[in-house]
Amino acid sequence: MYLPRQLGSLHDLPDTPEAYDAVLADVVEQALARITPEGNLEHPDCVDDIGDTSLGITSLLALAWHRTKDPRLPEAVRRSTDFHLRERVYTDDNPGYPNLRVRNSGYPYARYTLAPGAHPIGDWPSTVWALLQAVNLLDLADGLLDEEQTDAVREMARGYWRWLTQATFFNPQDAANQAIGCVVGGLMLARHLPRHDAQGMRNGARALYASMIQRNQVWDRGAPLPPEHGGAYDNNYGPISLSFLAQAHRVTRSEVFSQDGEALAHYLDARLTTGGFDFGGPRYSEQHSGFESVLGLRYFGHRIGADLGRYRGDTLWGRHAVKPDGGVDGHFAWMLVWQIQDTTPWHRTPSTRPSRHQLRAGGVSVAFDSKMTPSLIEADGTYHLPAAVDRQHGFGPVVDGFLLCRPMGETRVRDVRADGLTAKLVTKPVVTRDHVLRHVQSLYVTDGTRLWTTVAVERLPGEPYLLAGLPYLSDDGDGLRRIADAEVTSAGDLRLTHPAAEGPEFFDARADTTQELAAFALAADPRGYGNPDEGWSHLVASTAIEATPAPGAPDDLNVFAVRYGGSGEVFDPVFTRTPEGLKVRTEAFTAVIGDPAGDERGEPTLTLRA
């Protein structure tokens, strides 16, 4: 089976003016064929996320007219604008909406679902989206809307802002992408207001950003992040937040948005594999966004000098939202407008900036979590997740069922590049189940094609082994194919194990399921509202690659040596004790891992040569 949403890298989609004109031409033809006598441009199958969609198509038609002057478009823009003003603006409270601060305010809002009382919880983000569609239309109104229509759209947008910021609690779903989107809407609306009102609007939007978004940032892997549905980062919403930060910076040139956007971009670059796959999040784990991410990835990738466009998006939504029949949907249409208006080019080469939480060279990458345990290993077009044993997750030595990867002190990291090789040494103090302190030193070396992992620890009792990952995906054309085995070689014995028990808490890689589906099955809340990251943490056991200690290591050490990739090549590493530390010699390199006590600053040393 294949992952249904993570397809091609987003920077592979053509983004020339001619390509965007072709996209708009397709939208125009679909819209003109669809528009009803009343001016409705909604997809006929649209039920949820509907409150902003007709207006979104209207804004795309307005943009197309400015680029082509197609004589068919002004009448369609005016008629569809009137439809939204007449049929899709609600001022009576939606029955059951739980987040009101003021009842019967009379302020306009947009509904997630048109039926009264049907899923009203989605009205806050739907109103943000409608605000953004409205301000885009105001930006494009010249030559299309008459003065009366323009005034009506402006007043509607002001009413949306009041409803979002006065009549309801701000950001009730704790979703930073929605909150930043609201701030962007206020900043863009300010450009259409008289000077005094405009400054008040800007001040209010900036104050909301500082108090409700920045103040609530959460930290992961050393980076301050906008929180998404209660978590640090979400693979769907995180890049969307990046796009909102890009637009906020485009509108204001304010350093606060560039700094926060660059911090998020560096974080994303570190956690993202070379092949563009990533997983995890408090709302969506593997359902990556598409066109909604392009602006942020392209804009901030260029600013930080990183190839963020390698991100595998949902290319079914590569240009705009679509329904299952392939027909255009106006949801999130402002993102297509903004990415067409922005001419920032993709930065297509990897960042040269060293990253504590990533090792990357060529087609190999290791992303590390905040505890410097690999969260994702990629080599030879294959992706490995942390395996699970007895409710413990990670990569590392296992002794008597206890996984040694959780640090009980400062974790030291040393990065080295030499002779075309890239290496990272991670030294962790860990405590065994019987409270004995051990120093686990993990060396990761790559030549851009293969990855060598050497793990050394003071000799352990019993029959220890290295938990070396859960084989999960492989590149296959424009998709990612689920796998249950991988090309891995060990200096000791190697085995692939699968859970003996059945149930959602046991992940067998041979089953036709995905990490996301398994995680939602273990989450406390329904799919779409639960937390896949939290659900996955409840996994008891998984398919796992296990490697026994390598022969010939010094008597006082257990050394595990595993190579990912390099099919058919000899792998027979040699380990010797030297005054400088543990010498590791493989077919491709010689490395010396310094004593865990480190140098005069307590930092373990590493030397490397081909």
Chunk the chain into consecutive blocks of 10 residues (it has 610) and report each block's average pLDDT, rounded to whole numbers. 92 96 98 98 97 98 98 98 98 97 98 96 97 98 97 98 98 96 98 96 98 95 92 92 98 97 97 95 90 98 98 95 96 98 97 94 97 97 98 98 96 96 98 95 98 98 97 93 96 97 96 94 87 94 98 97 91 96 97 95 96
Q: Is 412 left (phi over 0), alpha (psi -120 to 50) or beta?
A: beta
pLDDT value at position 340? 98
What Cα–Cα distance (Å) separates residue 488 from each residue in 160, 388, 466, 485, 493? 56, 18, 13, 9, 11
pLDDT value at position 607? 97
Residue 575: beta bridge partners?
Answer: 584
pLDDT value at position 314? 94
322 in Cβ contact with 186 (< 8 Å): no
51 in Cβ contact with 130 (< 8 Å): yes
pLDDT value at position 109? 98
Distance CA 479, CA 26 (A): 25
Distance CA 196, CA 478 (A): 52
**Structural tokens at position 507:** 């992940």
Catalogue the E-assigned strands of 189-345: 218-220, 223-225
Q: What is the DSSP letter of 316?
A: G
3-state secondary structure of 572: coil
Residue 92, classified by CB atoms within 10 Å of its CB into exposed (0-12), middle (13-18) or buried (19+), is exposed
Residue 28, classified by CB atoms within 10 Å of its CB into exposed (0-12), middle (13-18) or buried (19+), is buried
pLDDT value at position 397? 98
3-state secondary structure of 368: strand
State which H helix or E strand residue 583 sits in. strand 581-585
Which of 1, 27, 8, 14 has its CA nearest to residue 337? 27
- Packing angle, helices 123-139 and 176-189, rounded to 10: 30
459 in Cβ contact with 555 (< 8 Å): yes
- Packing angle, helices 176-189 and 147-162, rounded to 10: 140
Distance CA 365, CA 452 (A): 12
Question: In what side-by-side order are the strands of the sheet with 590-593?
Answer: 574-578, 581-585, 590-593, 606-609
pLDDT value at position 477? 85
